[in-house]
Structure 1
Amino acid sequence: MSRARLRWNGAAATAAIHQAAARGVRLGAEHVLGVSRQRVPLDEGTLERSGAVSVDEQQLVAAVSYDTPYARRVHEDMNARHSPGRSAKYLEAVLPQESSTVQALIAAQVRRALR
């Protein structure tokens, strides 16, 4: 008869998974920012450069934002004309299209932590 001994450190495993998920959330938000920057209407590039990611690692929540006085107006103005490939709703339209990639980025980080 063989015996095996198992030591389970649940707190350390949970902490590692949470840290990995936070890393994945940040990577996902940065991916969304990158894709949205490719769609931001361009004039001088100020709006594009103002894009930023913020992450609450405790709550595993991220935000992508653009910080210019006119960011909201440009985002919402569906009647404005833009260069090819650039459009209003440059941020809102990206997340539904990129959600599977964001999920894959988070899952990959969690899998990596479980090795």
Structure 2
Amino acid sequence: MQYTRFRFDGRRQWTSRGRRLASEGLEKGLEHVLGEARRLVPLDEGTLERSGKVVMTGPLNGAVVFDTVYAARQHEELSWKHLPGRSAKYLEIPMNRERQVVLDLMAVGLRRWLRG
């Protein structure tokens, strides 16, 4: 497992501004993943694609959600046929592929704050 750790050297305390910046960065990162997922989501009438949204559940917790009754089944069913460029695992693929982009988007505001 690869991960990135932010280490604070004691010069700055983890303040509400730091938490807010990290949360805003996470939301931007999840919006990016949502955009990539919409490019892969199976397309028939577009209902599934339009149901995608980012939900922030806490200061540093969020999720990309596709909110239809068949979203999970459509995501997991590998044997179903899709239009070219569309696929099952429409959320898992971009979440894994865009991981570093999400981390970079989270770090932008924090870097400026820490350098301040």
CA distance in 1, matches of 2:20, 2:55: 16
With the length of structure 2 as denominator, give the TM-score of the two structures. Answer: 0.83
Aligned twin of 1:6: none
Q: RMSD of aligned C-alpha atoms?
A: 1.7
Q: CA deviation at 1:61?
A: 1.1
Query: Deviations for 1:43-97, whole angstroms, at most 9, x for unmatched residues?
Result: 0000000001111343x01101101111111111100111111000000111110
CA distance in 2, matches of 1:75, 1:98: 18
CA distance in 1, matches of 2:36, 2:103: 15
Aligned twin of 2:25: 24
- The runs of 5 or more residues in structure 2 that have no matched partner are 1-11
Within 5 A, what are the aligned runs for 1:1-115?
Answer: 14-58=15-59, 60-114=60-114, 115=116
CA distance in 1, matches of 2:72, 2:106: 28
- The runs of 5 or more residues in structure 1 that have no matched partner are 1-9
With the length of structure 1 as denominator, give the TM-score of the two structures. Answer: 0.84
CA distance in 1, matches of 2:56, 2:110: 17
For the residue of structure 1 that corresponds to 2:55, the secondary structure is: strand
Identity of aligned residues (%): 48
2:70 is matched by which residue type in structure 1?
A: Y
CA distance in 2, matches of 1:87, 1:75: 8
2:106 is matched by which residue type in structure 1?
A: I
